[in-house]
Structure 1
């Protein structure tokens, strides 16, 4: 049994059959190139799963020091693309460098601006819990087009997006829980649907039960040719320990991308 709190979020999207062993939400995948564009499928070196590796030079802090002053979560990379009528699809790489502190209720602050630097909207987006010493990938949707819809107008599309992440002081908890090698993903590739979407399919298997959660997120993260995040899609699926479950993540209006990776993490609705 693994105990943790998870919260929040959206749905999914291109190619190649590979078996991916995932350390929870951390990445240890194969990069899948867009075979539909005639590109070769290439294996990538496993990415580091622990945020602490990126900070190997930093002196280790004691659990007491982390409890008194947890290190902030960081967004190491993000990408976005316009969705319908002023909404924005985006994906982020979130790192927690603390060794013992779980960010239970982080919030992403998204700011959209036009070409002149004017703010189109500012939105806070709740993020699922992020366990210590780990890297997570989340795909989400944000925006504010309610006024435009009521007025029968088209919402302006952002020219730039800025994303920051914060965790309230009272939204940290100390834990010795790590996700470990809970998830295994078998990627079955991508296909075109009759309604114009790309469909990513495969299976996800959770090796252990996560207390309070009978479901898991499956995030498909899209990357450009330089390995930068372009965006992403996700879906929630019911999972039972030891049993492979099919997933199908649909991507409408996906941007051009060179590769994708699939990640899984526990999911729990909160009252």
Structure 2
């Protein structure tokens, strides 16, 4: 006997399809976890505000300022504690390492040779940095000083990590824990992962034979309700990790146990932003806790904590 599709049955079917689509979208975009975190975040303010960065207290003070001398493809950000400046890379035509002042002015540009797709840079020690080459999933430790004009990947210490290779969905972010001598490496997506590397790069005070170890914290990574990872930054004072997501328009602060405790939205109207940050690619904090973000094509942002 044929089934009669009455208006009531069609409405029920349409609602069922809509609910199924909403459930799939919610899981894909991690909307449920993010919504729950938003509800609980303010309730944790008294617990965490005095012993964390506490991102809700930040407000933008420099917004969408173009970096003069860079037209496009500005990617990644690192703070050099010795020089009190910022470093970034460009990953196309030509590839360069650039030094910026804390107000987003271009100080110098250094040619990168032998890097196909540099996506992240991290300060390790005076004159010592690590750069990721995303497509090859390799890390390259390089040296530079005041007179450096060219950096060649072949001259640097290299480490290849071919874990879950996936085209250009590779290593997008770096952070360094000086006390723990851990290099934290962000895999962009499919799935998002944060690898912990010890033993690389070799430092001047390292003794004995080289021993490199790569590990994961799957419980922490599964708790990241973001669609991708664009950049990382490690705060030495608190031992907390900042995780930047371009697609989720979000910056997360993770405590020492890897749990999200605070966030900063990159959308219009949040943190004083007059417009959404279009494509956030790098984050860094300085010794005073001031927060910096860069966005493609060449936009510079500074966030400062307001007094409470």
With the length of structure 1 as denominator, give the TM-score of the two structures. Answer: 0.26
| More helix, by proportion | 2
With the length of structure 2 as denominator, give the TM-score of the two structures. Answer: 0.23
